[in-house]
Amino acid sequence: MRIRTVRQELAIKYPWKIARSEGVTSATTIRLSIEHEGVIGYGEAAPSVYYYGEDLDRVEQVAKDAEPVLGQDPFLLEDIIDELAEQFPEAPAARAALDAGLHDLVGKLLDVPVYKLWGLNPANTPKTSYTLGIDTIPMMLKKLNEAREYPVLKIKVGVPGDMEMIKAIRENTDATIRVDANTGWRVEEAIEKIHELAAYDIEFVEQPIASGDYEGLRKVRENVPLPIMADEDSITCAELPRLAGCVDAINIKLAKSGGLREAMRMINVARALGMKIMIGCMSESSLGVTAAAHLTPLTDYADLDMNLLLTNDPFDGIKVIDGKIILPERPGHGAILR
């Protein structure tokens, strides 16, 4: 199997700002292709230096070094993906692109969509949230007005003025609202803020405090009236037993887990621990988002909206109708270059 990589420059419609980073208007990801007997599988790497310091150069290096690991039989997914995890443990976005590319390839070789390979019902996809990035209140209301077709909204909090922002949004919509503090609060502050948030009918609160503080999360959860979800703290299966009892739900992303196979294991482990599950995404195109979407028939929530926030999406993949995710019926994951 041959691997190729191309950098993709993605333009984001509005400056994208969260509690732990400044506003950006673009993102670069890597489109990875795996060719086997004339058939090509695609995957996307959206590395985040926040996790293991992985960057674009590292992804490209891993793509080069991974070629001998792939071998000649793409159907040996379990063996190949385990070996990639062994050799490149701190490059989860690169591995996610390889894993998506292999699943796409296998689906195309068998002429079936990935959800069908797994026996999943595409009618069971959840609604995705649509994120309104942090902005001034007038701009937030402008974005809200443009987001009328989405019944579930995600609002980033954990910055000064966040409660005023939520109040203004809630006064102007009946949509379901979930919030994400992206590690922005201290424990006591989180408890206080989440009590305030409860007045605005909020579905759940994502990652209220700094990652790595499991007992802090437990304390927040035990002292607030809203469900708590781990994101920055939920990376692979390894964290989940320690998170049990500290959170109600986890946010799985392929760029953290290292791909679809580890994400599937996380779903099974989280279910056994009584947790609810969301699938989310990084700043990536319809390529990465569509690969992740094939797991959503197994999840409670989805936050697969980054493709909707781009002005130059290079791929055509999932559709969103009244918030609901519609999976492509094409073989593989079904994301194709425009």
Cα three-residue angle 10-51-304, rounded to 5 degrees = 45
Which is nearer to Mg ion, 48 or 290 (by Cβ)?
A: 48
Element (H, E) at 61: helix 56-70
CB of 206 to Mg ion, least distance (A): 5
CB of 251 to Mg ion, least distance (A): 6
Q: How far apart are CA 114 and CA 304, in angstroms?
A: 17
Query: Which residues from 293-332 bind Mg ion, rule CB under 5 A?
Result: none
Which amino acid appears at position 241 of this protein? P
Which is nearer to Mg ion, 54 or 180 (by Cβ)?
A: 180
Q: Which residues contact 291 (CB under 8 A, 6 or more apart)?
A: 43, 44, 100, 103, 104, 114, 254, 260, 333, 335
CB of 180 to Mg ion, least distance (A): 4
Which is nearer to Mg ion, 82 or 135 (by Cβ)?
A: 135
Burial of 218 (0-12, 13-18, 19+ CB in 10 A): middle
Which is nearer to Mg ion, 60 or 300 (by Cβ)?
A: 300
281: left (phi over 0), alpha (psi -120 to 50) or beta: beta
Q: Which residues contact 115 (CB under 8 A, 6 or more apart)?
A: 121, 122, 294, 297, 327
Do the bridges between strand 324-326 and strand 2-18 make them parallel or antiparallel, or are there none, so unpaired?
unpaired
Q: Which residue is nearest to Mg ion (CB)?
A: 231
Count of residues in contact with Mg ion, rule CB under 5 A = 3
Query: Which residues from 40-99 bind Mg ion, rule CB under 5 A?
Result: none
Which is nearer to Mg ion, 180 or 233 (by Cβ)?
A: 180
Residue whose pair of structure tokens reads 């309104």 in the numeric block? 132
Which is nearer to Mg ion, 14 or 118 (by Cβ)?
A: 14
Q: CA separation (Å) from 77 to 31, 62, 236?
A: 20, 18, 18
Query: Which residues from 151-180 bind Mg ion, rule CB under 5 A?
Result: 180
Which is nearer to Mg ion, 88 or 185 (by Cβ)?
A: 185
Among 54, 99, 162, 206, binds Mg ion (CB under 5 A): 206
Which is nearer to Mg ion, 154 or 330 (by Cβ)?
A: 154
CB of 305 to Mg ion, least distance (A): 12
CB of 247 to Mg ion, least distance (A): 12
Among 231, 233, 305, 316, binds Mg ion (CB under 5 A): 231
Candidates 5-13, 43-51, 64-72, 200-208; binding stretch for Mg ion (CB under 5 A): 200-208
CB of 55 to Mg ion, least distance (A): 20
CB of 202 to Mg ion, least distance (A): 15
Which is nearer to Mg ion, 108 or 221 (by Cβ)?
A: 221
Burial of 168 (0-12, 13-18, 19+ CB in 10 A): middle
Contact 325, 120 (CB under 8 A): no
Candidates 75-83, 211-219, 224-232, 314-322; binding stretch for Mg ion (CB under 5 A): 224-232
Contact 113, 333 (CB under 8 A): yes
CB of 231 to Mg ion, least distance (A): 4
The DSSP secondary structure of 5-58, one letter per residue, reads EEEEEEEEEEEEEETTEEEEEEEEEEEEEEEETTEEEEEEE---TTTTT--HHH
CB of 90 to Mg ion, least distance (A): 21
Residues at the contact surface with Mg ion, assessed by CB under 5 A? 180, 206, 231
